[in-house]
Amino acid sequence: MHEAAVLDGPSVEELDLVEVLQALGDPVRLQIVRLLAGADGPIACHEMGLPVAKSTGSHHLKVLREAGVITAEIDGTRKYHTLRRSDLEARFPGLLESVLQRGERTKR
Amino acid sequence: MHEAAVLDGPSVEELDLVEVLQALGDPVRLQIVRLLAGADGPIACHEMGLPVAKSTGSHHLKVLREAGVITAEIDGTRKYHTLRRSDLEARFPGLLESVLQRGERTKR
């Protein structure tokens, strides 16, 4: 059994508040974060049912990963994504939970 | 004694999570928010000691006001700004406090 490769992202200590806020400040990226928060395990992009083109979805996932909001694990030709919930909670206590509890659709 | 005019912003019900996160996701705007959070009363732009040109500072204040993070009150030729702390807390419980408690300087 091979091990899946995990794409690099910032460590907990490197998580930057401005970058995390910018990453969260987009309706599609918030949708991804909520989806991953409610998931049992890692989710691939094509399983997310995002309302955007595949390349746009990939871009949003990259922004989230580079800000340290999610991890991406490569398995064969697919990337599986996980929310870094405990890392974010350790660095910015309460931030992610306050964002997740506002679950209704935003204006745009 | 004349009454100062208050510039319009969204009502509590109209506050939009994406817009608020976008407004907070900037180092200068976070600096303004922290400054206002620690202030005894309204503060004018020129009293903020922002590390940017006056026009840039005005732009950031406008973004914060339009997102509903701050109010602006016109008094003569000056605008005085106040953080909408209780409005934000009512609409997005815990969000502003989680941002404010991370008080150290961000990477950029």
Query: What number is the ipTM of this complex?
Result: 0.89
The CA–CA distances, whole Å, from B15 to B40, B45, B68 equal 24, 23, 6
Q: Listing from the earlier edge strand, what are the strands of the sheet with A5-6? A: A5-6, A70-75, A78-83, A43-44
Confidence at residue B108, expressed as pLDDT on a 0 to 100 scale: 40
Q: Which whole number is the average pLDDT over A66-85?
A: 95
Q: How many CB atoms lie within 10 A of CB B86?
A: 10
Torsional class of B68: left (φ above 0), alpha (ψ -120 to 50), beta (otherwise):
left
Over the Cα atoms of chain A, what is R_g? 13
pLDDT in tens, A20-42: 999 999 999 999 999 999 999 99
Confidence at residue A103, expressed as pLDDT on a 0 to 100 scale: 57
Question: The pTM is what?
Answer: 0.90
Confidence of residue A8 (pLDDT cuts 50, 70, 90): confident
- Which of A26, A60, A95, A97 is the best substitution to test chain B (most B C-beta atoms within 10 A)? A95
How many CB pairs lie under 8 A apart between chains A and B?
76
**Residue B76, both tokens:** 């003569």
Q: Which residues of A20-47 are buried (b: 16+ CB within 10 A; e: fewer)?
A: bbbbbbbbbbbbbbebbeeeeebbebee
Asked if B106 has any chain A CB less than 8 Å from its own CB, the reply is: yes
Tell me the C-alpha distance between A5 and A76, whole Å: 9
Range scoring the smallest mean pLDDT among A13-17, A25-29, A77-81: A77-81
Contact yes or no for A26/A60 (Cβ under 8 A): yes
pLDDT in tens, B32-64: 999 999 999 999 998 999 999 999 999 999 999
Residues of B in contact with A91 (CB under 8 A): 102
Asked if A21 has any chain B CB less than 8 Å from its own CB, the reply is: yes
Contact yes or no for A29/A64 (Cβ under 8 A): yes
The shortest C-alpha distance from A17 to chain B (Å) reads: 7
| Closest chain A residue by Cα to residue B20 | A25
Q: Which residues contact A105 (CB under 8 A, 6 or more apart)?
A: none
Confidence at residue A77, expressed as pLDDT on a 0 to 100 scale: 87
Contact A92 B107 (CB under 8 A): no
Nearest CB to B98 within list A25, A94, A108 = A94
Of A64, A69, A73, the residue nearest A91 (C-alpha): A69
The shortest C-alpha distance from A59 to chain B (Å) reads: 18
| Closest chain A residue by Cα to residue B106 | A16
Nearest CB to B24 within list A21, A101, A106 = A21
Q: Which whole number is the average pLDDT over B61-69?
A: 97
Confidence of residue A108 (pLDDT cuts 50, 70, 90): very low
Asked if A12 has any chain B CB less than 8 Å from its own CB, the reply is: no
Query: Can you list the alpha helix ranges (DSSP code H) found in chain B?
Result: 17-24, 27-37, 54-67, 85-91, 95-101
The shortest C-alpha distance from A67 to chain B (Å) reads: 12
